[in-house]
Structure 1
Amino acid sequence: MTDFQIHTVRTAPAQAQQALAVLDDAFGFVPNGAGLMANSPTLLNTFLSAFGHFRGAGTFTPAERQVLLLSNAVANTCAWAVAFHSLEALADGVEPATVQALRNGDLPADPRMAALSTLTTTLIARRGHLDDTQTAAFLAAGFTRSQLLEVVTGVAISTMTNHTANLAHPPLEAPVQPHAWTEAHVSDV
């Protein structure tokens, strides 16, 4: 359990209340990861701004975004984020078999989604150092060079939430509980 307060719209510092209200409107609840980030309004507002650009102006489909974010959560072994993005991935139309594969640390059967997941986890594991073969595989799957940089945005966003949740170990919200996950689910760990 966490030593940090998980804020609601009412308990958050004034500079974080609007951001939490936006998330509450979007999800019908304040995600605990965001409630934790509200302890630092700078972190929460930076996250929400970056995520807004990633979601609103980004070129990935909702399903591709969730594959990227779920891949990051598994790579960062963030139980809260894996559960949260499993829920969101299914809501955004990701096939249940793809969600399960990602949760297991495996690649999806769909070659495009597999390329996106591979690039995402490779960026994390290699700290941004890709070789030409890895970049070529991503581009061969139909993605663009611009989207390669957009993956960096997704990794940065995930780092904010994954590291916050890994530091604080928030409980799962009721809608997220059916998607509980532990590192033991990953076949290669």
Structure 2
Amino acid sequence: MSQTAASPHFPAHTLHTAPAAARPALERASRKFGILPLPLARFATSPLLVRAFDELLAVFEGATLSPVEREVVVMVVAGENGCDLCRTMHRGLLLRAGASPEVAAALFERRPAPDARLQALAAFTEATLRERGQVPDADLDAFLRAGFTAEQALEVIVGIGTTTLSTFANRMTRSHALR
């Protein structure tokens, strides 16, 4: 995976150059991914941002949505927010979580997923984003008919918030596009 152009304002920190307050979260991310992802290396300019993302991600990982379902939410938000790096990273995480290659490809390419339940989740996530949370009853009903719960509808909002924080920070730090 190529790195994006350097940012004069947001250097790519290492575990050794990052502010001390950012290091614990960066170390956890390094263990999870096997590397320190460029976005997090640049996020380290603000230990508060690193902490916020780390804590929000931990909260979202505690959702009743499955790991595959959480990755579906992330893929939709990353696509809507124009974060190519996120889409690429999370396509790999989606596959690692157990999604089929066909589902991962469809979500990456921003077309309907071949799994009806996961497509209902993707469509609901899109509707939630489009309507800024004021989802029409028909969209919510379709989500619930697919086997999801009202609790999970609200968990989608947690995923949107977590991923939006990351994608907006990626865009500001110039970590969002692959080159």
Q: Which residue is equivalent to 1:150?
A: 155
Paired with 1:20 and 1:130, the residues of 2 have a C-alpha distance of 35
1:124 aligns with 2:129: yes
| 2: CA distance, partners of 1:126 / 1:160 | 18
Q: Residue 78 of structure 2 contacts residue 167 of structure 2 at CA under 8 Å; is this kept in 1?
A: yes
Q: Aligned partners of 1:62, 1:120: CA distance in 2, in Å? A: 15
For 2:51, the equivalent position in structure 1 comes to 45
Contact 1:9/1:18 (CA < 8 Å) preserved in 2? no
RMSD: 1.6
Deviation, structure 1 residue 170: 2.3
TM-score by length of 1: 0.86
Q: Does 2:105 match 1:83? A: no
For normalisation by structure 2, the TM-score amounts to 0.91
Question: 1:16 touches 1:38 (CA, 8 Å); kept in 2?
Answer: yes
Q: What are the superposed Cα offsets for residues 102-148 of structure 1, whole Å, 9 maximum, x if unpaired?
A: 12211101111001111112212221121111111111110000001
The code of the aligned residue for 1:130 comes to: V
Q: Any stretches of 5+ residues in structure 2 without a counterpart?
A: none
Contact persistence 1:16–1:45 (CA under 8 A): yes
Distance, in Å, in 1 between the alignment partners of 2:123 and 2:91 is 18
Q: Please tell me the residue identity of whatever aligns with 1:71.
A: V
Q: Could you tell me whether the CA contact under 8 Å between 2:43 and 2:173 is conserved in 1?
A: no
CA distance in 2, matches of 1:54, 1:113: 18
**Cα deviation, residue 38, structure 1:** 1.4
Alignment partner of 1:15 is 2:21: yes
Distance 1:39 1:121 in 2: 31
Distance in structure 2 (CA, Å) of the matches to 1:121 and 1:82:
15
> Unpaired runs of 5+ in structure 1?
173-179, 182-189
> 1:171 and 1:130, CA in 2 relative to 1: closer, same or farther beyond 3 A?
closer
3-state SS in 2 of match to 1:170:
coil
Please list the CA deviations of residues 134-165 of structure 1 after superposition, one character each: whole Å capped at 9, or x if unmatched. Answer: 11111111000000110001001111111111
Using the aligned pairs only, state the percent identity. Answer: 31
Deviation at 1:166, TM superposition (A): 1.7
Alpha-carbon distance between aligned partners in 1 of 2:45 and 2:92, rounded to the nearest angstrom:
25
Structure 1 pair 97/34, CA: closer, same or farther in 2 (3 Å)?
Answer: same
- Count of residues in Structure 1 that have an aligned counterpart in Structure 2: 173
**CA–CA distance in structure 2, aligned partners of residues 94 and 42 of structure 1:** 33
